Structure 1
Amino acid sequence: MTKISKDIINNWSNLIRQKVFKFKDTNSIGPQSNLLTLLNQILKITTDKYEISSKNWFNGFNFLFCNQDNVNVGSDGYDNYQAPVDSNNHQLFLRRLWVKGDLNFLQPSPPINSSLECIEKIKNVRFINENVFVQIERKFYELLKINGNNEKSSEDNLKLIENRVMMYTNQLYHQSPPPTEDSKISIKSDEKISIKFKISPIDLLKYSMLTYNLHKIHYDFKYAHSIENLPALLVHGPLQITLLLYYFQHKYPNLTPKNFTYRTFQPCFCGDEVGIVIEKLSSEVGVKKLINQFEQKKEDGETEEEVFFELSLINVETGKAYMRGKLIC
């Protein structure tokens, strides 16, 4: 493997940030129906399969569409089209991890069977302590027919903007020290935990198939353990986001999300007992910071009141957070 230097990363960064990646898809009912069934099985929720199709994209269902082509897969099984490489296109890092991101919901979900286009760009690359952090922006458009068959995207039909940060590293997984207070939920009783569940290997395989995700850490235990030193299969970052947003919508069906900003703290492993904690934030708890991070555009004269929540995916036994995010509705 090529010796990694700041110059190599800078050269790759200068090239990759000039590129624009475009993926087309169809907002079909099949993948959404199958994902809805999977989520209901994991969370043990009984509901009409098509009941919330008009709000699916507020629940993380955008992760089903406009995904990578898997043409140039790396040693870990995932597509290397945005992974740091040297001048000979050789892979530089063994592992990639989901770090943080946000979802900005600009319009209602696209109609079923509408044409979609995702325009994807690398916004930022940072080289820190031999690791590389890559920020990716993904804009989802509903394609509108112009003059018959020609389809066009424009800012008027921009549905959603997703940002994600991936970390590329050659460090193997090792057991973390006890969680800090920042990553713990103070639980005096089970009252704060809205729901408890476990995610099985079959659940992860189904989600990998639905999202065209060939990353081996989600379905190949032999690879995950022997190569990356993981104790169990890893739960996808997008699946964790989707579980939080979908369960929130189940509890608060009359609220419409506008923005969800999150970060990961610890890996979530298959077989862990997982809980979801939903807390409504007061004006004294993080709301001022949220307002500074996210400015909601309003029409003249509109006086809509925003509501703020903190959503956490936690380990029931230890109280540590796998993922935590701030949601604005």
Structure 2
Amino acid sequence: MSETNLQDWAGRSATATETADGERAARLATLLGHDGDPAAPLFPLGHWLHFSEDDVPMSELGADGHAALGGFMPPVPLPRRMWAGSDLTFHAPILPGQTIERTTTIESITEKTGSTGRLCFVVLRQELTADGRPATTDRHTIVYREATSVPDGSAAKPPRTDSPAPAGWDWSRSVRPNEVMLFRYSALTFNSHRIHYDHPYVTEVESYPGLVTHGPLTATLLLDAFMSTHPEAAVTGYRFTAKSPLFANEQIHLVGRETESGTHELQAIAPGGKTAIAATVTTKN
């Protein structure tokens, strides 16, 4: 990789505008198992339903289904990409019908070498306003990595075996995202990344054992579980880091506990007890 070339993209900014869509927000509520109200404020992560990065002509999509790199995003020459995490601050709710303006700045581009080979981390800082007032700051990280070898035939495997809910948490909830939920979330966010719906591709090309559950979907399920158990709390911040992937039809334990007043530790735990997502929520009661 040429560091000089990639660093030319650092500091670039782009601004886009959309109208907050109450119907889309209501469909997310339905996906989460709630009654959807098109007039209700957007879920704190509801801006992810807007400004899809894959909303480009078919001719501008890469082999993985994502928008090809080299336009606004740096042309990282590593073929695999994942959402590594976000650090969000919520300034004010977004209401249906409001004009949302998002300014995205490429904050940093960092190349590293890990146990799986070369990695590149791209940090995007997104500032969102609703009708001109600050609404959400979302600093999110994308990681790019090298391709892995695929066993002869396919890397497909059945879902991992369920494991008991872990002890030591204030609350827990279990979910099992399936192919239909993954499809619906991809449709809501206009996410065309093939790892979430194309089983031959994800197992024979990217060497995963099955369809990958979206990191943002798991992060949404985790925050929704917290909000359902703390209906009186006003969420002011949410930070999460993806530790390991989850796959369709696997049981996920969503757990949380208060670490100090107004701060809660959350985790999404994979079969076998491994942490898939580690998160922190801050609240104003």
Report TM bin, short chain. Answer: 0.7 to 0.9
Counterpart for residue 135 of structure 1:
123
Q: Does 1:313 align with 2:268?
A: yes
Return closer, same or farther for 1:141/1:167 CA change in 2, 3 Å cut-off: same
Counterpart for residue 214 of structure 1:
192
Identity score, percent: 22
User: Quick check: which has more Rg, 1 or 2?
Assistant: 1
Higher-strand-fraction structure: 2
SS in 2 for 1:57: coil
Return closer, same or farther for 1:123/1:64 CA change in 2, 3 Å cut-off: same
Counterpart for residue 167 of structure 1:
143
**Hey, what's the Cα distance between the residues in 1 that align with 2:112 and 2:129?**
33
Say if 2:38 and 2:96, in contact at 8 Å, map to a contact too: no
1:82 Cα offset (Å): 4.7
Counterpart for residue 70 of structure 1:
56
Counterpart for residue 160 of structure 2:
none
**Hey, what's the Cα distance between the residues in 2 that align with 1:111 and 1:279?**
30
Structure 1 residue runs of 5 or longer lacking an equivalent are 41-46, 86-90, 144-152, 176-184, 283-305
**Hey, what's the Cα distance between the residues in 2 that align with 1:51 and 1:11?**
45
**Hey, what's the Cα distance between the residues in 2 that align with 1:73 and 1:246?**
31
**Hey, what's the Cα distance between the residues in 1 that align with 2:4 and 2:135?**
33
Residue deviations 1:218-242 (CA, integer Å, cap 9, x gap): 1111111111001011111211111
SS in 1 for 2:276: strand
Counterpart for residue 17 of structure 1:
10
Structure 2 residue runs of 5 or longer lacking an equivalent are 156-163
TM-score by length of 1: 0.74
Say if 2:237 and 2:282, in contact at 8 Å, map to a contact too: yes
Say if 1:219 and 1:233, in contact at 8 Å, map to a contact too: yes
Aligned amino acid, residue 179 of structure 2? P
Say if 1:310 and 1:325, in contact at 8 Å, map to a contact too: yes
**Hey, what's the Cα distance between the residues in 1 that align with 2:194 and 2:38?**
33
Give the number of equivalent residue pairs: 262
Say if 1:66 and 1:117, in contact at 8 Å, map to a contact too: no
Counterpart for residue 178 of structure 1:
none
SS in 1 for 2:77: coil
Aligned amino acid, residue 125 of structure 2? E
1:92 Cα offset (Å): 1.5
Counterpart for residue 328 of structure 1:
282
**Hey, what's the Cα distance between the residues in 2 that align with 1:324 and 1:82?**
29
Q: Does 1:36 align with 2:29?
A: yes
Return closer, same or farther for 1:199/1:82 CA change in 2, 3 Å cut-off: farther
Q: Does 1:99 align with 2:84?
A: yes
Higher-helix-fraction structure: 1
Return closer, same or farther for 1:225/1:309 CA change in 2, 3 Å cut-off: same
Q: 1:113 aligns with which of 77, 87, 97?
A: 97
Q: 1:53 aligns with which of 36, 40, 64?
A: 40
1:279 Cα offset (Å): 0.7
1:10 Cα offset (Å): 2.5
Residue deviations 1:91-136 (CA, integer Å, cap 9, x gap): 62211012122110011x2221111111101000101112111001
1:244 Cα offset (Å): 1.1
**Hey, what's the Cα distance between the residues in 2 that align with 1:142 and 1:200?**
33
1:249 Cα offset (Å): 1.1
1:67 Cα offset (Å): 2.1
Deviates more, 1:265-274 or 1:165-174: 165-174
Aligned amino acid, residue 90 of structure 2? F
What CA RMSD, in Å, does the superposition of the two structures yield over aligned residues?
2.3
Aligned amino acid, residue 235 of structure 2? P
1:194 Cα offset (Å): 1.7
Return closer, same or farther for 1:171/1:29 CA change in 2, 3 Å cut-off: same
**Hey, what's the Cα distance between the residues in 1 that align with 2:144 and 2:281?**
27
1:270 Cα offset (Å): 0.8
SS in 2 for 1:111: coil
Residue deviations 1:122-167 (CA, integer Å, cap 9, x gap): 0001011121110011111113xxxxxxxxx4xxx11000011111
SS in 2 for 1:238: helix
